[in-house]
Structure 1
Amino acid sequence: MATLSYVNVFAKDIVALSGFYQGVFGFPEIEAIRSPIFRGLDTGKSCIGFNAHEAYDLLHLSAFADTRGIKFLLNIDVDSRADVDRMVPVAVAAGATLVKPPYDTYYHWYQAVLFDPEGNVLRINFMMPGDEA
């Protein structure tokens, strides 16, 4: 079976953006793979990679470097509803923009939607047992 190892984000400032995710969620950096154009964070189940724009050339993606629009969103799962409520103001204080405050979804998640400091979509989620909705 295939598994997800990384979600990579092209970032204007890999140090600042990876630092945002470290500071808000406590994800440790994987220092062994650090480079001038890459930072990686261990989320416990998979990893988030942050690529500098120089990686476009490395990956033969330069023709697409100016593509606009939302192309992905990061979902960060936490252990409780209280964690969602606690982490939203921490993320906002660290430079995120709140798009949709915490709410109960029809699919039994409690989540908030934010933009990270570079405008990428981020959700902070707690997956509720079916009887809590």
Structure 2
Amino acid sequence: MAALVYTNIFTDDIDRLADFYSSLFGLEEIVESKSPIFRGFLTGGSSLGFSGPGAYDLLGLTPQVATGDRVLQTFDVDNEDQVRGLTDKAEALGATIVKEPFATYYGWFQSVLRDPDGNAFRINFRGAPA
């Protein structure tokens, strides 16, 4: 099985977005990879990167121009209180709450937000072990 080791978010302001997520979740920066067009952070089993516009040329990509959500990041936490607390903290840091913390039909507890760039993400508790 393949393992997801990195996910990147393209942004015009890598410092603003990197600082938002690292402040919200207390992420540890991978300082060896920091550059004018990239910042990366450890997130547990994978890493989260923020790529500036210069990364498009480096990777041979062109920016997407279609509107609408294409990616949804989900960050797991240890309990429902953390979902609530981090949702409030995210809003204070500049996120927009799309859906207040709620219980899902599949037994998880989560909130849905948009970061300062408008990217959708969830703060999620998978529920108590069976």
| CA deviation profile, 1:20-46 (whole Å, cap 9, x unmatched) | 011010011110111110000100111
Q: Is the 8 A contact 1:108 1:130 kept in 2?
A: no
- Name the residue aligned to 2:11: 11
Shift of the alpha carbon at 1:69?
Answer: 2.1
Secondary structure, in 3 states, of the residue corresponding to 1:79?
Answer: coil
**CA–CA separation in structure 2 for the residues paired with 1:70 and 1:57:** 23
Matched, 1:49 2:43: no
Offset of residue 130 of structure 1: 6.4
* SS in structure 2 of the partner of residue 35 of structure 1: coil
Question: What RMSD in Å do the two structures reach over aligned CA positions?
Answer: 1.2
How far does the alpha carbon of each residue in 1:29-88 deviate from its partner, in whole angstroms, 9 at most, with x for none? 1101111100001001110011001111111212x4434321101100000000001111
TM-score (norm 1): 0.93
Percent identity, please.
47
Query: Are residues 1:20 and 2:24 paired?
Result: no
Are positions 1:110 and 2:87 aligned together? no
Q: How far is the alpha carbon of 1:125 from its aligned partner?
A: 0.1
Q: Name segments (4+ residues, structure 1) moved above 6 Å.
A: none
- The Cα offsets for residues 104-124 of structure 1, whole Å up to 9 and x where unpaired, read as 001111000000000000100
How many matched pairs? 130
Contact 1:9 1:50 in 2 (8 A): yes
Say whether the 8 Å CA contact 1:56–1:65 is kept in structure 2: no
User: C-alpha separation between the residues in 2 aligned to 1:80 and 1:129?
Assistant: 8
Q: Which residue of 2 aligns with 1:71?
A: 70
What is the rounded CA distance, in whole Å, between the counterparts of 1:21 and 1:91 in structure 2? 9
User: Unaligned regions of 5+ residues in structure 2, if any?
Assistant: none
Q: CA deviation at 1:129?
A: 3.0
| In 2: Cα distance, 1:2 partner to 1:65 partner | 26
Distance 1:49 1:67 in 2: 22
What secondary structure, in the 3-state scheme, does the structure 1 residue paired with 2:44 have? Answer: coil
Distance change >3 Å, CA 130–CA 104, structure 1 → 2: farther
The DSSP-based 3-state class of the residue aligned with 1:107 is coil
The one-letter code matched in structure 1 to 2:94 is G
